[in-house]
């Protein structure tokens, strides 16, 4: 194969698989709504099952459902008939995946599932298949053709099935009013967990580490505080801690550029009044957004205030970098 042939074949795969997804999207209707309502109102869990490639897709759907507020487990059909069906209860909904609708290992589960009383949602490309005929709700994932040039390896069909699983998960997420805080509960590890769980209070400089200065002090005195604390800025506050403004080394440089002898000026004459602030309870990623979206230029330090506008902390961009929020 030459370069152009390789790229042409890859683009053909994308084209075929996108056509498959477009088809199942256009066919969505009352059955999809019924599936969402069944899953939403179930007092049990979602038991996802599939064999071979459908099983791999089912494992991913299971993980997506579980991480977005819908308790889900994956049941390997071959293991199911050797005891694992014991995990299924009458309150559960079984989500069975089989493109042909005739996978023997899944069909072998049906008599026991019927006796248990669990509901059955089928994702298949064959409505009139043995599996399709037994479904309480049938979700059509039929595609016109596989991307595999031999028409044998599941490609477009598995992509369509995966997309249908994502659609179910997102619809359930929205119906449950699933919030970022809920998502964070199930993702405590890694950089994602830090972005969703880490609060401003956990990263801010406070108490002895908080740079504060009174408004009547000179800019030169403020520079000593900025240098001592090493945060590139100092909060200007009254004796009771109420914040009046923020003085950064950037403010001082800009004052010098204007030809002022700013070092002898009072801090109140050079400081930035009414700077952006954040509360200690907010997520650290929210503080990052405030800093990056500040106009006319992003900022590197952000004061933390309480409900009475008293200064309680200061965040520097490097604090967020160190914690993996950025």
Q: Is the peptide bond before 152 cis (omega within 30 degrees of 0)?
A: no
Residue 13 sits in the same domain as residue 157: yes
3-state secondary structure of 273: strand
- pLDDT number for residue 185: 64
Residue 152 sits in the same domain as residue 212: no
Domain end point (choices 144, 178, 212)? 178
The answer to the question of residue 118 being in a domain is yes
Residue 132 sits in the same domain as residue 164: yes
Residue 45 sits in the same domain as residue 151: yes
Cα dihedral sign, 45-49-55-61:
negative
The answer to the question of residue 192 being in a domain is no
* Span 155-204, pLDDT tens digits: 999 999 999 999 999 999 999 988 766 676 666 665 666 666 788 999 99
- Extract the residue ranges of the chain whose pLDDT is less than 70: 180-182, 184-196, 259-260, 326
- pLDDT number for residue 78: 92
Distance CA 44, CA 39 (A): 9
The answer to the question of residue 188 being in a domain is no
| Spatial CA neighbour of 242 closest among 309, 315, 313 | 309
The answer to the question of residue 194 being in a domain is no
- pLDDT number for residue 297: 82
Number of domains, the chain: 2
Residue 173 sits in the same domain as residue 218: no
The answer to the question of residue 186 being in a domain is no
Domain end point (choices 143, 178, 213)? 178
Residue 263: give the domain boundaries: 200-322
Burial of residue 194, with CB atoms counted within 10 A of its CB: 0-12 exposed, 13-18 middle, 19 or more buried: buried
| Spatial CA neighbour of 28 closest among 177, 176, 173, 160 | 160
- Residue with tokens 């769980």, as numbered in its chain: 197
The answer to whether the CB of 103 falls within 8 A of the CB of 54 is: yes
Residue 117 sits in the same domain as residue 266: no
| Number of helices and strands in the chain (H, E) | 16, 11
Residue 155 sits in the same domain as residue 212: no
The answer to the question of residue 37 being in a domain is yes
3-state secondary structure of 126: coil
The answer to the question of residue 195 being in a domain is no
- pLDDT number for residue 39: 97
- pLDDT number for residue 192: 63
**What's the distance, CA 204 to chain centroid?**
24
Residue 31 sits in the same domain as residue 158: yes
b/e per residue 297-309 (b: at least 16 CB within 10 A): eebbbbbbbbeee
The answer to the question of residue 89 being in a domain is yes
Residue 102 sits in the same domain as residue 166: yes
3-state secondary structure of 75: strand
- Residue with tokens 């053709």, as numbered in its chain: 145
* Span 84-106, pLDDT tens digits: 999 999 999 999 999 999 999 99
Distance CA 36, CA 159 (A): 20
Residue 110 sits in the same domain as residue 168: yes
Burial of residue 77, with CB atoms counted within 10 A of its CB: 0-12 exposed, 13-18 middle, 19 or more buried: buried
Residue 58 sits in the same domain as residue 204: no
Indicate yes or no: pTM above 0.85: no
Residue 146 sits in the same domain as residue 10: yes
CATH number, domain at 132? 3.40.50.10490
CATH number, domain at 220? 3.10.580.10
Residues pairing with 50 in the sheet: 97
3-state secondary structure of 154: coil
């Amino acid at each position: 194969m030459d370069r152009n042939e390789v790229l042409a074949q890859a683009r053909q795969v994308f084209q075929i698989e996108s056509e498959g997804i477009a088809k199942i999207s256009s066919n969505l209707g009352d059955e999809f709504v019924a599936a969402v309502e069944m899953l939403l109102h179930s007092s049990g869990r979602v038991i996802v099952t599939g064999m071979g490639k459908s099983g791999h897709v089912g494992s991913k759907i299971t993980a997506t459902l579980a991480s977005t507020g819908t308790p889900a487990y994956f049941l390997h059909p071959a293991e199911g008939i050797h005891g694992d069906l014991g995990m299924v209860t009458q309150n559960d909904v079984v989500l069975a995946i089989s493109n042909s609708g005739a996978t023997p290992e899944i069909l072998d589960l049906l008599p026991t599932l019927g006796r248990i009383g669990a509901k059955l949602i089928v994702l298949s490309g064959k409505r009139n298949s043995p599996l399709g005929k037994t479904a309480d709700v049938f979700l059509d994932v039929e595609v016109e053709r596989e991307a595999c040039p031999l028409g044998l390896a599941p490609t477009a069909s598995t992509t369509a099935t995966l997309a249908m699983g994502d659609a179910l998960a997102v619809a359930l997420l929205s119906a449950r009013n699933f919030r970022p805080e809920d998502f964070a509960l199930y993702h405590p590890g890694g950089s994602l967990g830090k972005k969703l769980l880490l609060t401003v209070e956990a990263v801010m400089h406070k108490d002895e580490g908080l740079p504060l200065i009174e408004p009547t002090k000179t800019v030169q005195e403020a520079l000593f505080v900025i240098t001592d604390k090493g945060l590139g800025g100092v909060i200007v506050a009254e004796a009771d801690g109420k914040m009046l403004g923020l003085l950064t080394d950037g403010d001082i440089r800009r004052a010098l550029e204007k030809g002022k002898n700013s070092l002898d000026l009072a801090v109140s004459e050079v400081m930035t009044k009414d700077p952006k602030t954040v509360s200690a309870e907010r997520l650290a990623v929210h503080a990052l957004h405030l800093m990056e979206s500040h106009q006319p230029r992003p900022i590197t330090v952000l004061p933390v205030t309480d409900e009475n506008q008293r200064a309680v902390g200061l965040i520097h961009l490097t604090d967020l970098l160190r914690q993996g929020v950025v």
